[in-house]
Structure 1
């Protein structure tokens, strides 16, 4: 059985920004370079570029010998750990790429190893060449060379200008409307001009609107606004999705107006989504009227169903359903009496809603008008905190919290339970 080593890398100047990948297939016995492949990807994130580099390397190896054993070496800890099955793949952009990579070879035929960046220079150089050429001339989209003692083949996809790829054995040149060999020339200053252009594009991308300056690319930023008070709020009664669906009280309407003024002062909200319940739609409408935006109802933001506890105080539930309450406090999978929604079920729903919204609103700042349990769950999931942390967060009516979600699957909690806008 033949043995290949695949070295892959990807990069993005701006994260997300102008991006490309580079991949190398080596003979594991001789160390000979068999394939070099690179591609300019347009504007994507580092992690997407790294996964695309992995895919290209595995496909190139498969083209050589689908029965070979393959050892992948990358300096991306994320890709290596996820493809090895040690880390979960949470981000919606990563999942299909990882699944696609896993289908190229049968299970067990590919192994993964993390290596320091300095040991991945070949793939890194190709990735940077892809970014340079793509950002400067938009001409080089993909190049591949396969060189071996008995045969050499090359394949290119070129939209304009010329591309030259060199291996130790042969130099290939492909041109659109020209037969002249030689390196592709970038307009306006060559490699330096390419880097300058890429830097400008990256700067523009990072500067996209956000609640706070983006420090790891342009995240999907969720400003989480709990609805204003209802008649049940000051009485501290369970009020979920299975109850009477109360409207805002006079106090709640005033709180919604104050929240709207706070949003107007910040001036960064681009979209407004709300739970389908009356109190959240009323709160969202107040903000939307002030900002001149529309409200989109998102069912995934609805409050937990508290079953038979709806409308009761905590003390009343303890008196009527002591065993069920104790179980609910101790076990996130326990349901409120009468078939309510467990914390685990709520977390599953919120995680799915989060993933959908992160994919839809990357680089945007979105106001999510929702409830106590969904907001606490957003924060808990962002922190990677245990379910019992839900009981250790204070969340006042009409309070603001902020969570930013990045393209690599990471998250940052930027604010929790801010009520400063409610003070006169």
Structure 2
């Protein structure tokens, strides 16, 4: 029977950096330490980092061939671990295609966690890599012996892949991110019978109105760009629609950025001057160096980083935030709302990325959903969340109220 979870140990190196290079990868059963697959190859003359990435790629390919659904990837290369975790930039242009290839493989698993381990805990992969380097250099091959051992816990690298966060992320997020509700919908009873909405927390998810960046199709993250003239018209129409759609709403919660706050204030007033609360967890993704740039400008300036980012929600823009991080905090915000407002209706005003990620998880979809869903500025979506993990998506991107706005 194919393993559900596997452990990958990977390494690579070169004699001279650059020099004769090779990589090694071992796939193990995480409970017994049994070797399930080995990969080793000489790759000519290149650098240590290229070889290390090749080792990771080989290990991920082997895990996929074994039918694994979750992977713990452990390496003694801090650079690869940090770059694949989205915390370090990929400054070397030669590594960008390899990072993109690895990120595409990551997307084939339900969850992949990266951890750094000291070299002495990576001896088998290191030996395979050295044997490959010997072959590349024309030296006599040295035997590779796997020493029986108990698999030791890795030294966790702080960030989105810490083990204590994995449980909340592993059901719906193929990039190992948190679930929307903080509960597992697979525990909810499956039924075609309509569930009573009065027992659910209803979230009316509203994207803010247009800004100049929206109209110009620029990356708009943490920059506090105000609503445009057209955006203010959209907000008035949206406030009237929300008031008709959710007359019993008890609160309005907003991202702290002004384009959301202005949208939320109009909605709160239309609902009878409801209290408005700001929540930092609802803020837009931090696009780092891409902030304020068009998609074409990013494609020209950061082609490798863009490919890696598009291939995996765990990869962050340079000096920015990964979608995995956005999903984790947005899910935390929603879980808090469900706890604070059981059986009530709450209006949530946020941005395109947090709302897309919340809808992805509500629909138990994979990351391809993010590229296929379009959310208009000032669009409205409605989700019901039950305490037992049940979810009903009532509407997505409702925009009829915007018809005729010039």
TM-score, reference length from structure 1: 0.49
Paired residue secondary structure (2:199)? coil
Structure 2 vs 1, CA of residues 296 and 382 (structure 1 numbering), >3 Å: closer, same or farther? same
Coordinate RMSD, CA, aligned: 2.5
**Displacement, 1:411?**
1.0
Work out the CA distance in 1 between the residues paired with 2:183 and 2:357.
Answer: 22
Structure 1 segments, 4+ long, off by >4 Å, are: 86-95
Alignment: residue pair count: 220
Kindly indicate whether residue 282 of structure 2 is the aligned counterpart of residue 285 of structure 1: no
Question: Does the 8 A contact of 1:91 with 1:407 survive in 2?
Answer: no
Kindly indicate whether residue 345 of structure 2 is the aligned counterpart of residue 365 of structure 1: yes
Question: Does the 8 A contact of 2:227 with 2:259 survive in 1?
Answer: yes
Question: Which residue of the partner structure matches residue 263 of structure 1?
Answer: 242
Question: Does the 8 A contact of 1:264 with 1:290 survive in 2?
Answer: yes
**Displacement, 1:332?**
1.3
**Aligned partner (choices 287, 293, 312) of residue 312 of structure 1:** 293
Matches within 5 A, 1:15-414: 215=196, 218-241=199-222, 243=223, 245-266=224-245, 267-291=247-271, 292-337=273-318, 339-414=319-394
**Displacement, 1:296?**
0.6
Structure with larger Rg:
1
Work out the CA distance in 1 between the residues paired with 2:389 and 2:287.
Answer: 31
Question: Does the 8 A contact of 1:350 with 1:374 survive in 2?
Answer: yes
Work out the CA distance in 2 between the residues paired with 1:92 and 1:329.
Answer: 25
Question: Does the 8 A contact of 1:91 with 1:408 survive in 2?
Answer: no
**Displacement, 1:269?**
2.1
**Displacement, 1:305?**
0.3
Structure 2 vs 1, CA of residues 333 and 290 (structure 1 numbering), >3 Å: closer, same or farther? same
Work out the CA distance in 1 between the residues paired with 2:180 and 2:211.
Answer: 36
Work out the CA distance in 1 between the residues paired with 2:311 and 2:180.
Answer: 30
Paired residue secondary structure (1:232)? helix
Please list every run of 5 or more consecutive structure 2 residues that lacks an aligned counterpart in the other structure.
Answer: 1-169, 173-177, 188-193
TM-score, reference length from structure 2: 0.51
Work out the CA distance in 1 between the residues paired with 2:310 and 2:274.
Answer: 39
Question: Which residue of the partner structure matches residue 131 of structure 1?
Answer: none
Question: Which structure has more strand as a fraction of its residues?
Answer: 1
Paired residue secondary structure (2:374)? coil
Question: Does the 8 A contact of 1:91 with 1:409 survive in 2?
Answer: no
Question: Does the 8 A contact of 2:255 with 2:281 survive in 1?
Answer: yes
Please list every run of 5 or more consecutive structure 1 residues that lacks an aligned counterpart in the other structure.
Answer: 1-85, 99-212
